[in-house]
Structure 1
Amino acid sequence: MLGVLGGMGPLASAEFMRRLTLLTPAERDQDHIPAVLWSDPRVPDRTAARLGGGEDPLPALLRGIRGLEAAGCGAIAIPCNTVHGWFEAMQAATPLPILHIVDAAAAELARLGVPRGRIGVMGTAGTLAMRLYQQRLEGRGYECLVPTETEMARLVTPGIAEVKANRVAEAHAPLAESARALAARGARAVVLGCTEIPLGIAAGPPLPFPVCDTIDALARAAIGWARGA
């Protein structure tokens, strides 16, 4: 049984469940992966906790982990990038393996034919400030480009906020503009390192370069775990 620690945000968690279902090779109900979604949008804001002295989300995260343990789950996936800033504390608190979203993204980049080189990374201000992708990917041969402060303030942060407010169509233009800017600076692919970003990007025309959708990446990692890979 897969445990999904979600609600950060709710739409991204629901999309993860949808993609987990659609990406699983299956012919009937019984071929799919048993899963429990713990969707708790009350978890305090992760970026505010890291950058603005906001409330620590860890107690709420551990409450969700305990719920998934009690439900009989064998592993945990968390379709939120920024919360992986608390990965070590969460993993230390549970015997269940937690699938790391950045490792899943690295596998997805390789699947897309970009096993190393210069890539763009979009994400929340908290994710980028914690260097979650840079620290984990640079040792694998990647050079990570990130949006400028101006692009974050004008494009990325507002685009993420539109998705969280259920205005998904309005998120496409600013998020796509930021992705194109990274590609113009030499990124071979762009990692959509916030699980709201793929929803906004998918609301408009496809981008003309590879994008690593971290919702899909984590779903593929979960399927691999369930299949014993």
Structure 2
Amino acid sequence: MKKTIGIVGGMGPLATCDLFRKIVEITDAGSDQEHVRVCIDSNTEISDRTAAILSGGKNPVPEMVKSSVRLQGMGADVLIMPCNTAHYFYDQITPYVDVPFLNMLEETAREIKRRGIGTVGLLATDGTVQSGVYKKVFDAEGIRMLLPSPENQKHVMDVIYKGVKAGNMSIDLTGFYRTMEALFESGAEVLVLGCTELPVAFDLFHIEKPNIDPTLVLAAAAVRFTGAKVKEEIGY
């Protein structure tokens, strides 16, 4: 019997949908019954993670813990959280649950190492960048990380907050493209889409740049944890 996945969601809702969609799409299943059971708590009461990290905003941990405990009570055998910035609080959440909680950032670093990639460009929220959570896991795997300039980082935040989170399909992407090109010119082999809104943005705006999608990495790790198979062509 396959294990059940629990998704601590709502950070944001579209990113949660993206993770669930990827779990379904990458599972090697020939019928409904061969797919993985997934429980989702899209908890939009979880406060903004970047604001909590950088400006003393409301602590998101209590609501993240509530969701985690709720999902465990629903029968989840493993928990996952489709929000990179939220992993800053990972060690404050896991003591409250008795089931494994996969770490998206660690899974991503291992995947990059497996591919033999030495230098990456990180696209992420200010909270993720300034907290150093990706630097920690990349350093552990010997991966060099490049960051956008302060000016270019504003373009990344605009795509995340004024684009995807705001549902704005007409946002000007000129600065964002300039940001990506600057990272490649500095030596990045791929871009790490280190905010779960960014894979959504790449799909919505049809952006085609070499990248590692942590949402897809996490989806594959979770599917394998359950005992189900990941389609070989996925490559993760």
Q: TM-score, normalised by structure 2?
A: 0.89
User: Aligned equivalents of 1:169 and 1:18: distance in 2?
Assistant: 24
Alignment pair present for 1:49 and 2:52: yes
**1:69 corresponds to which residue?**
72
User: Aligned equivalents of 1:221 and 1:171: distance in 2?
Assistant: 34
Number of equivalenced pairs: 225
User: Aligned equivalents of 1:3 and 1:19: distance in 2?
Assistant: 14
**1:40 corresponds to which residue?**
43
Alignment pair present for 1:25 and 2:31: no
**2:223 corresponds to which residue?**
223
User: Aligned equivalents of 1:167 and 1:152: distance in 2?
Assistant: 19
| Alignment RMSD | 1.8
Query: Which structure 2 residue ranges, 5 or more long, are not aligned?
Result: 230-236
Is the 8 Å Cα contact of residues 152 and 176 (structure 2) preserved in structure 1? no
Q: Aligned partner of 2:226: which letter?
A: A
Distance 1:195 1:169, change over 3 A: farther
**1:148 corresponds to which residue?**
149
Q: Which has the higher contact order (CA 8 A, sep 6+)?
A: 2
**2:233 corresponds to which residue?**
none
User: What does 1:48-127 align with in structure 2 at a 5 Å threshold?
Assistant: 48-110=51-113, 113=115, 115-127=116-128
**1:185 corresponds to which residue?**
186
Is the 8 Å Cα contact of residues 36 and 228 (structure 2) preserved in structure 1? no
User: Aligned equivalents of 2:175 and 2:9: distance in 1?
Assistant: 25
**2:159 corresponds to which residue?**
159
User: Aligned equivalents of 2:225 and 2:39: distance in 1?
Assistant: 15
Is the 8 Å Cα contact of residues 113 and 143 (structure 2) preserved in structure 1? no
Q: Aligned partner of 2:79: which letter?
A: I
Q: Aligned partner of 1:48: which letter?
A: A
Shift of 1:179: 2.2
**1:130 corresponds to which residue?**
131
Query: Which structure 1 residue ranges, 5 or more long, are not aligned?
Result: none
Is the 8 Å Cα contact of residues 49 and 127 (structure 2) preserved in structure 1? yes
**1:11 corresponds to which residue?**
14
Shift of 1:86: 0.6
User: Aligned equivalents of 1:15 and 1:66: distance in 2?
Assistant: 22
Is the 8 Å Cα contact of residues 175 and 197 (structure 1) preserved in structure 2? no
Shift of 1:180: 2.2
Q: How high is the sequence identity, in percent, across the aligned residues?
A: 30
